[in-house]
Every structure is written in structure tokens, then in C-alpha cells.
Amino acid sequence: MTAHEVTLEQIEDADKVLVGVAQHTPIDHASLLTELLGVPTSMKLENLQRTGSFKIRGATYRLSRLTDEERARGVVAASAGNHAQGVAFAAQQMGMAATILMPLGAPVPKLLATKGYGATVITDGATVEECLALAAEHAKRTGAVMIHPFDHPDVIAGQGTIGLEILQDVPDVETVVVPVGGGGLISGVAVALKEVARRTGRHIRVVGVQAAATAAYPPSLAAGHPVTVERGGTIADGIAVVRPGEHTFPLVRDLVDEVVTVDEDHLARAVLTLLERTKLVVEPAGAAAVAALMEGLIAPSGPTVALISGGNIDPLLLQRIVAHGLVASGRYMTLRIPLPDRPGQLARVSEILAGVGANVIEVLHTRHDMGLTLNDVVLQVSVETRGPNHQDQVLDALRGASFDPEVASA
Amino acid sequence: MTAHEVTLEQIEDADKVLVGVAQHTPIDHASLLTELLGVPTSMKLENLQRTGSFKIRGATYRLSRLTDEERARGVVAASAGNHAQGVAFAAQQMGMAATILMPLGAPVPKLLATKGYGATVITDGATVEECLALAAEHAKRTGAVMIHPFDHPDVIAGQGTIGLEILQDVPDVETVVVPVGGGGLISGVAVALKEVARRTGRHIRVVGVQAAATAAYPPSLAAGHPVTVERGGTIADGIAVVRPGEHTFPLVRDLVDEVVTVDEDHLARAVLTLLERTKLVVEPAGAAAVAALMEGLIAPSGPTVALISGGNIDPLLLQRIVAHGLVASGRYMTLRIPLPDRPGQLARVSEILAGVGANVIEVLHTRHDMGLTLNDVVLQVSVETRGPNHQDQVLDALRGASFDPEVASA
């Protein structure tokens, strides 16, 4: 192993600094993954971290290392989400002024949370990249210290404290799977795990997971240097970073065993499974490691820990993911049923649905649908069902009574 | 303290039996409650327990104490939810046959989960009480052993293991708050905590929380014996029990310091706060202790643990609670705006909404609304907003442009 600019000693120092600010988050046994993979698997719950993500670790350690003169000038950061809250919270804890540039249209809960931690929030710019440029200008103009979301040795050392906690709580760990955006989190974790493993003569595998839509590491690792990729649309906004950092890239290249990618459906399925089965709220980026394990993209090997990096999901997005998941698994179906316009038709349909045990959730009864004769009405009805077979039963029952249902979503 | 039929020794025995079946669930620091109450507060996360609730503890210990002859006959239970899954899972682990009576219309996910654990599920009866009667018949007819959801010393001892884990993880605990239905959970926890406290010469306060809509303990404690109350509608179905048990009542009477009640809004608010701020999925019954603490119904005293008893919430109910919470906090608003029927009106409204930073989530554009003139159309538009003030801004902007928006939900 070559010498790196982040060492185990720095991470141990960060661990001391974080006491009383960041929490030692719990490890939760993952029954579902354990069964699926055939190796004892657990999850490190950084979604239960203060501010809802691991970001306060790096931010706090970075801020703690500023000189008194720098502290007096305050800090500035650009972020649409977790880094904003991490920096705002850390600055508040240390009594420093923080200015956060957030893009226009950033999710309301994240805006409110960042303001709630006492930061001055400026919403400007269409993308995080534009915000970064604006933040750099702000730093130049005011003298505030720019806090990069991942590409700084102190930030990396702060995130590395998670590696120490994993070793403490799962001493026999052999594989750790980590979501990857810019690479700050996995770099720090890998330094901690690999160095402890080296000193104790064992092997710990570190695997990174990116969202396929914006995955800069696979091509960068292939090229041997950071490569900029195009930003693709992904629900995993927290890890949609178009280029590895100058500090993080060498660490990932040298210390991470493998980086795999997951697609949008994998992420959505993981979020829903974590919500329904594991009772955890996890943002799509935070669920990347679990998604990769669920989809069988990582060969199981020894006791495994999946890092859940954050839980800050916009409730409106969560609603959409749950709805999508219910539809996809045959547990919710919307039907459009043309009805002859005479009394009693709605009652008849309701009876048929009740007869086959489909719970009616929503009904929309409209007239004058395009393409229908003047007197016809269309009934749009959403029902809760027990799965695809049950949906077929529902359709058969309606057809058997001479209705002609069309599945509007299933 | 009078002698009771459940002892600390039995709970310690149960603790050994549960190894490898139930998990020692994590404790999570509760920043929000700690700030609110001014005492260090944490949460015992039985929503992360296998099967999503504490019920497998009592079920497993109860089943482990059956004779070989009883085991061969199998078990039967009646439940709409967590007890069903607990018994099914415990029976599966021990290789016993289990039959579960679930009421008609029980939530689909709970039906599927119970079947998933290998139980024979019979859906019959309109209420859990009817299911209990049917289960008793089934037991009589087939010889299967009836497993009561709470009113049995072994069940109580099994739930009591949570008390031991709390003492292990929060050794300086002074107050423990527990959701209460039939009283099995709080009885066991109280035996463990009070007996350890007695032996070590300290005081630990145990407080119970019931849903006001169906709260049998306050009148029963006042009367000095179990009293049957009417079942009121509550989202906390898991603790809607109309009468304390014969075994649980004396334990609650003698060992529990206080039982308070929370109303439906408290429960919904707690579920949403746990979801959004704490990143935990908790069913309404499971959130009762947190609800009582959030609403200031329990005087703070020393390090406090709120027991989260379960996370099995129907996704459709979760969707409704989140939607309700967003509307209630001014973060979502649906408007009905009558539009003159000429081109460009939808575009104008869209521009105004964009101008004040309201994100449009859903649009419904309909003609022929009752009470409008023949050519008018009504635009129904749902927008994401940043709070009540922002909603006023949105309304003012529309009115300033001569539209007449009506708030359909806010």
C-alpha cells in the first residue's frame, strides 16, 4: 500500500473530535439480506445520524481543524441536501457563521432543515455545479472558507470514523459495501478498514456502489484518472457526482476492491423494501449498497455490512416510490370502466369488487370522456389487491358481469 | 411489592431462550425529544425486531414452554397483525404447525407476511374478538394450543426481556415509556425494571400510554379491577384492546407508575415526525410513547427511554398520514381555480405559480362543474409549498392576477 494523505491516525483523531457531536450510530441485523446472501449481513445506520446522514462527520472534523482566524471568517458550502445540513449543523455546534448555496427548486424539507440549523441559505443557480461556482465567488468576496462536500483530507478522515465504528460493532466483518458519489465516504472508510486489516493480518473487502445514471468511478478507474461523465437523471441525487475528486480518486483506486452500479429500479425497490420490511426510511442514494446486495451484484463473502448513508428523502418522492412499488407488486391497481349511463351501475361494480375482496381506495366517476358516446360515463376506480393473481380475479369477475375494465396502471 | 406470577428469573430464562430467534434491538438517541424534554432521551427500536414488532418475544417463550405432546398438536392464535406474525414466526422457528385466524379485511401486507412465515391463515370474522372466539372453537375441535396475545405469564415474561436489554444499553435509565394495549408488554418490562431497581436500591419509573379512543386501563385502574370499554376508532389498531387481562391487570396496577392517553392527532404527528426526522417507520400503536412525550403529557425525569413497539404499518395508511401531515403543516395545498374558457389560462396560472416558487405536483383540468356557466372550466392544481406564509403568497399572487382560487385542502 502506498502512502496516502489520509491516515488511520487522522481518522482516530477525528473520532475523538466527533464525540458529543456525531452519534455512534446503531448496527441493525438484516434478516432479509442474510437469508438472500447466505452470510451474516447487517446495516450501519447512518440514516439515523444527526441531520439524517453521515455528512456531519466530515464537516465537523473539517471545521474543527480551521484556525481561529479562519473560524472568524465563517464557512460557505454548496449543496442540494445532506452536505448543506451537515455543514450548517457543524457550524452551529462550533459557533461559526455558515452560508449555504442551494439550487433553486431544492426540496423544501432540506431548505427548512438547513435554515433550522442557523445557516444563511441562499437559493440560486440551477444545479449544484452552479452553486459551487457561486459559493467559490462568495468565498472570494467575503473571505469565508469554502467547505467542499468530499474532496478534502479532513472531510475524508471525518467520514472514515464510520469504519472504526463498524470494526467495533462487527469485529469479524469481511465485506463492507458503501454508496459512492464523489468518493469521500468510501475513501475514509476504506483507509480505516484496510489499515486495521493490514495491521492485524486479515483481509476486509470494500465495495463501492454508484447509480448507473451518473457513475463517474468505473470510467475513471478504467482510465486511471478522474474522468467527467454526463449527469443522468437519477433519484439518487445524493450520489450523482459527475467527477471523482483529486483527493478521493487515488484512495478509491488503491483501496477499494470493486465499484458496481445499480439502476433506478434497483434503487426504488431497495428504498421500498427497507421501508416496508426493515422499517427504515432511507433516501435512494443511501440505499445503493442494499440495492446492489439485493440484486446479487456483489458476490457474498463473509460477514457483510451494508452502509446506509442517509435518510433524507423528500416525503413527496417517498410517496411516489411507495405508490410505484405497490403498483409494481400487484398490490394496487387503477381501472377505467366504461358504464352505461343508467342508475345502479356504480353499485353493481362496487358489489363485484367487494365480492372478490378488492378494497376500493379511490373512485372517480366522470362523464363525457373523449371517444365515448354522449350518454356514457367512465368510472375510474383504484383498488388494493393481494398480488397479480388477485388482480386477474378482479378483472375476470368484472368481465364475467359484462363490464369492460381497462387497466390504467398495474 | 407483592409476589407476582411473573418473576425476574422467568424473564432471565426467556432471555436465554430468545437467543438466535429474537434480536437484541438497537437503542437510538432521540435528539429531538432530548431537546424538547431537557433530559437525555433515547428510543428502544422494537420496530426493527424480526417480524417488525416485539410480539415474537412473548410468542417464542410461550411456545418454548409447551410440552412435546402440546407441540405435536400445533398452536392457534387470533390477531389482525403483529401477534399473528409473531406466533407464525416462532412456530416456524420451532417446527410447529400454526393456524392464525385473521379478521376479514385485515391489511394485505400482514396477511402475506403471516402466510410467508408458513402459518395456515384463515380469514373469518369481522373483528379480532370474533376471531378469538373462532380460534377458541378451532382449539377445542383440533386440540391445538391457543396462544393468547398478552394474557399469559410466559407471554409476559417473554416481552419482559426488553426491560433487560434497556438496562444493559442505558444503565442509568430513570424513566421508561411503553405503549399499552392488553398490557402484556408493559407488565413484563415493569417486572424486569422494578425488580432490578429494587435489588439495586434505585427508582425506575414506568409509564404506560394508551390510545384515548380505546383506553381500558385508566377506568380499570380507577375501579380496581378490569373493566370493558367500548372500542373507539383509532389508527393505533395494535393497542386497541377493550379490556385488560386477568394476568396483566394486577402487574400494571402494582408496578406501573402512571398510564396516560394520546389522541389520534398526537399519534399521526408522532408517526410523521419519526418518519421525517428520525427516519424510522413506526406504526401508530408503536409511536404512542413518543406521541405522549412529544405532547408533554409525561413530566420529564432523568434519562428516558421511549419504547417503539412495532413498525408494521399498512403502506396505504402511511401514505395517508404523510399526505395529511404535509397538508397540516402547510407544505401541500390543493386549489380549485375557475378559469374563463379561453386559450392560455392554464399557462398563465402555471407562470404565476412558478413565479412564487410553488412546485406543481398535480393538475386536473375539468369542464362542466356544477354551478358554473356552460363554457367555464375548473382547474384543480396541487402545489408543494414551504409553509403557511408561502401558501398565502401563492393565493395573493393568483388573486392579484384576477383569479379566484378556492383552497380545496390546506
**Domains of chain B, with CATH numbers?**
3-54+152-326 (3.40.50.1100), 56-146 (3.40.50.1100), 330-407 (3.30.70.260)
Give catalytic status of residue A55 as yes or no.
yes
What is the secondary structure of A25-46 as a DSSP string?
--EEE-HHHHHHHSS-EEEEEG
The whole-angstrom distance between B232's CA and the closest CA on chain A is 22
Q: What value does the mean pLDDT take over residues A2-26?
A: 94
Q: What value does the mean pLDDT take over residues A11-21?
A: 97
Q: What value does the mean pLDDT take over residues B250-270?
A: 96
The 10s digit of each residue's pLDDT in A314-361 is: 888 898 898 888 887 788 899 999 887 777 888 899 999 989 988 888
- Position B351, amino acid: E
Q: Do A47 and B279 touch (CB under 8 A)?
A: yes
The whole-angstrom distance between A210's CA and the closest CA on chain B is 22
Q: What mean pLDDT value characterizes chain B?
A: 93
What's the confidence (pLDDT) of residue A289?
98
Catalytic residue among B42, B44, B55, B110: B55
pLDDT class of A369 with cuts at 50, 70, 90: low
The 10s digit of each residue's pLDDT in A101-128 is: 999 878 778 888 899 999 999 999 988 8
Q: Is B29 on the interface with A (CB under 8 A)?
A: yes
Q: Do A279 and B311 touch (CB under 8 A)?
A: yes
What's the confidence (pLDDT) of residue B367?
66
Neighboring chain A residues of B112 at a CB cutoff of 8 Å: 386-387
- Residue in chain A lying closest to B319 (CA): A319
Neighboring chain A residues of B367 at a CB cutoff of 8 Å: 368
User: Higher confidence at residue A346 or residue A183?
Assistant: A183
The whole-angstrom distance between B45's CA and the closest CA on chain A is 10
Neighboring chain A residues of B279 at a CB cutoff of 8 Å: 47-48, 52, 280-282, 311
Neighboring chain B residues of A366 at a CB cutoff of 8 Å: 366
Q: What value does the mean pLDDT take over residues A348-376?
A: 77
Residues 294-313 of B with CB under 8 A from A: 311
The whole-angstrom distance between B279's CA and the closest CA on chain A is 5
Q: What value does the mean pLDDT take over residues B110-128?
A: 91
Q: What value does the mean pLDDT take over residues B274-291?
A: 96
List the single residue in A48, A109, A384 with the smallest CB-CB distance to B108: A384
Phi-psi region of B266 (alpha: psi -120 to 50; beta: other; left: phi over 0): alpha
What's the confidence (pLDDT) of residue A109?
80
Sheet of B27-29, strand order:
B27-29, B41-45, B304-308, B175-179, B205-211, B258-262
Q: Is B47 on the interface with A (CB under 8 A)?
A: yes
Lowest-confidence segment of B108-117, B244-253, B254-263 by average pLDDT: B108-117
Chosen for mutation from B102, B279, B356 (greatest number of chain A CBs closer than 10 Å) is: B279
The whole-angstrom distance between B140's CA and the closest CA on chain A is 29
What's the confidence (pLDDT) of residue B154?
98
Q: What value does the mean pLDDT take over residues B23-44?
A: 96
Chosen for mutation from A279, A334, A393 (greatest number of chain B CBs closer than 10 Å) is: A279
Q: Is A14 exposed, middle or buried (CB count within 10 Å of its CB: 0-12, 13-18, 19+)?
A: buried
What is the secondary structure of A277-326 as a DSSP string?
TS-B---TGGGHHHHHHHTT-S---SSEEEEE-B----HHHHHHHHHHHH
| C-alpha cell read off for A327 | 403498483
Asked whether residue B280 carries a pLDDT value surpassing 80, the answer given is: yes
Asked whether residue A81 carries a pLDDT value surpassing 90, the answer given is: no
Asked whether residue A87 carries a pLDDT value surpassing 90, the answer given is: yes
Q: Is B281 on the interface with A (CB under 8 A)?
A: yes
3-class DSSP assignment, residue B75:
strand
Q: Do B279 and A311 touch (CB under 8 A)?
A: yes
What's the confidence (pLDDT) of residue B388?
87
Q: What mean pLDDT value characterizes chain A?
A: 93
User: Higher confidence at residue A270 or residue A315?
Assistant: A270
- The Cα A115–Cα A399 span in angstroms is 55
Among A190, A236, A189, residue whose Cα is nearest residue A215: A236
pLDDT class of B3 with cuts at 50, 70, 90: confident
Q: What value does the mean pLDDT take over residues B125-131?
A: 87
Asked whether residue A371 carries a pLDDT value surpassing 80, the answer given is: no
Q: Is B326 on the interface with A (CB under 8 A)?
A: yes
- Residue in chain A lying closest to B283 (CA): A279
pLDDT class of A244 with cuts at 50, 70, 90: very high
List the single residue in A279, A367, A384 with the smallest CB-CB distance to B316: A384
**Beta strand segments in A180-234, E:** 205-211
- Position A143, amino acid: G
- The Cα B223–Cα A313 span in angstroms is 48
Q: Do B27 and A28 touch (CB under 8 A)?
A: no
Percent of residues, chain A, with pLDDT higher than 90: 78
Catalytic residue among A42, A44, A53, A55: A55
List the single residue in B47, B50, B279 with the smallest CB-CB distance to A52: B279
Question: Checking DSSP bridges between strand A377-384 and strand A359-367, what pairing results, if any?
Answer: antiparallel
List the single residue in A50, A108, A322 with the smallest CB-CB distance to B319: A322
The 10s digit of each residue's pLDDT in B189-227 is: 999 999 999 999 999 999 999 999 999 999 999 999 999
What's the confidence (pLDDT) of residue B128?
81
The DSSP letter of residue B22 is: B
Neighboring chain A residues of B331 at a CB cutoff of 8 Å: 108-109
List the single residue in B108, B280, B386 with the smallest CB-CB distance to A281: B280
List the single residue in A315, A366, A384 with the smallest CB-CB distance to B326: A315
Neighboring chain A residues of B359 at a CB cutoff of 8 Å: 105
User: Can you give the three-state secondary structure of B214-282, one letter per residue?
Assistant: HCCHHHHHHHCCCCCCCCCCCCCHHHCCCCCCCCHHHHHHHHCCEEEEECHHHHHHHHHHHHHCCCECC
Neighboring chain A residues of B27 at a CB cutoff of 8 Å: 26
What's the confidence (pLDDT) of residue B309?
98
What's the confidence (pLDDT) of residue A410?
52
| C-alpha cell read off for A138 | 462568495
Residues 160-219 of A with CB under 8 A from B: none
Chain A to chain B Cβ contacts (< 8 Å): 91
Q: Do B28 and A48 touch (CB under 8 A)?
A: yes
Q: Do A281 and B282 touch (CB under 8 A)?
A: no
Percent of residues, chain A, with pLDDT higher than 70: 97
Catalytic residue among A42, A53, A220, A309: A309
- The Cα B109–Cα A277 span in angstroms is 10
- The Cα A82–Cα A51 span in angstroms is 8
ipTM of the complex, rounded to two decimals:
0.86
The whole-angstrom distance between A8's CA and the closest CA on chain B is 27
The 10s digit of each residue's pLDDT in A137-166 is: 999 999 999 999 999 999 999 999 999 999
Phi, psi of B209 (to 5 degrees): -130, 125
Q: What value does the mean pLDDT take over residues A298-315?
A: 96
Neighboring chain A residues of B286 at a CB cutoff of 8 Å: none
Question: Checking DSSP bridges between strand A304-308 and strand A41-45, what pairing results, if any?
Answer: parallel
Q: Is A331 on the interface with B (CB under 8 A)?
A: yes
What's the confidence (pLDDT) of residue B324?
84
The 10s digit of each residue's pLDDT in B34-55 is: 999 999 999 999 999 999 999 9
List the single residue in A279, A318, A319 with the smallest CB-CB distance to B280: A279
Residues 48-77 of B with CB under 8 A from A: 48, 50, 52
The 10s digit of each residue's pLDDT in B345-399 is: 888 999 999 899 888 888 887 765 555 555 568 888 999 888 889 999 999 999 9
What's the confidence (pLDDT) of residue A126?
86
Q: Do B278 and A45 touch (CB under 8 A)?
A: no
The 10s digit of each residue's pLDDT in B48-85 is: 999 999 999 999 999 999 999 999 999 999 998 899 99
Lowest-confidence segment of A52-56, A213-217, B386-390 by average pLDDT: B386-390
The 10s digit of each residue's pLDDT in B312-359 is: 998 888 988 988 888 877 888 999 998 877 778 888 999 999 899 888
pLDDT class of A288 with cuts at 50, 70, 90: very high
- Residue in chain A lying closest to B366 (CA): A366
Catalytic residue among B53, B187, B220, B309: B309
